[in-house]
Amino acid sequence: MLSAYPACFYKEKEGNYSVIFPDLNHLSTCGDTLDEALNMAIDCLAGYIYSAKIDNEPVPAPSDIKSIDIDSEYKEYEEAFINIVTVDVDEYAKKHFEKAVKKTLTIPKWLNDTAVSRGVNFSKVLKTALIKDLHTNK
C-alpha cells in the first residue's frame, strides 16, 4: 500500500537540502543534492511508518499539502518547496529493512549429520532461536 506525506524541502545556503515532515513530529533528514534528499526522505518516511507498525503505534494522517506553512518549519534557507513523498512501505521494507544476510557458523559434525538426516532447515531454526533469545533477554 502506498503511503504519501507532504514534506518541506529546504535548499541550504551551502547548497545541500534539508527535508522536514510536519505531520510526523517534524521528522527530518537531509541530502547533499536534491536527488539524495528525496531518496533520504523516502527512506525516512518508510522507516518511520515501518517502526510504528512494528511497535503498534498510530501513524498520523497526512495533512493537505495546501495547509502547510513552509516558513513555520524552518527559517534559514535559500529556496523552499513542499512535495508529496510516497513509498510502498511493505515493498521498501522487504528490500531495505528485512533483507536477509548470510552467516557462517560452526557446529559439531555429529549435530550437523543428525540435523541433515532429519531435514532440519538450519536458517529457520537459527532465526527462531535468535528471536526467542533476543525477546527473553532484553
User: What is the rounded CA–CA span in Å between residue 133 and residue 110?
Assistant: 24
Domains within the chain, CATH numbers bracketed = 2-96 (3.30.160.250), 101-138 (no CATH)
Q: How far apart are CA 130 and CA 134, in angstroms?
A: 6
How many other C-beta atoms can be found within 10 angstroms of the C-beta atom of residue 17? 23
Nearest to 52 by CA among 41, 60, 62: 60
Predicted structure pTM score: 0.70
pLDDT for the residue 23: 96
Separation of alpha carbons 3 and 1, rounded Å? 6
Query: pLDDT, tens digit, for every residue of 86-97?
Result: 999 999 998 888
The 3-class SS string of 46-71 reads: HHHHHHHHHCCCCCCCCCCHHHCCHH
Which grid cell sits at 87?
513509498
CB atoms closer than 10 angstroms to residue 133: 9
End-to-end CA distance of the chain: 32
pLDDT at position 137 is 62
Confidence check: pLDDT of 6 > 60: yes
Taking only the tens place, the pLDDT of each residue in 27-76 is 999 999 999 999 999 999 999 999 999 899 999 999 999 999 998 877 78
Residue with cell 504519501: 4
Per-residue pLDDT band for 16 (boundaries 50, 70, 90) equals: very high
> Does the pLDDT value for residue 138 go beyond 60?
no
Q: What share of the chain in percent tops pLDDT 90?
A: 63
Q: What DSSP line would sit under 117-132, residue for residue?
A: HTT--HHHHHHHHHHH
- The pLDDT mean for the chain works out to 91
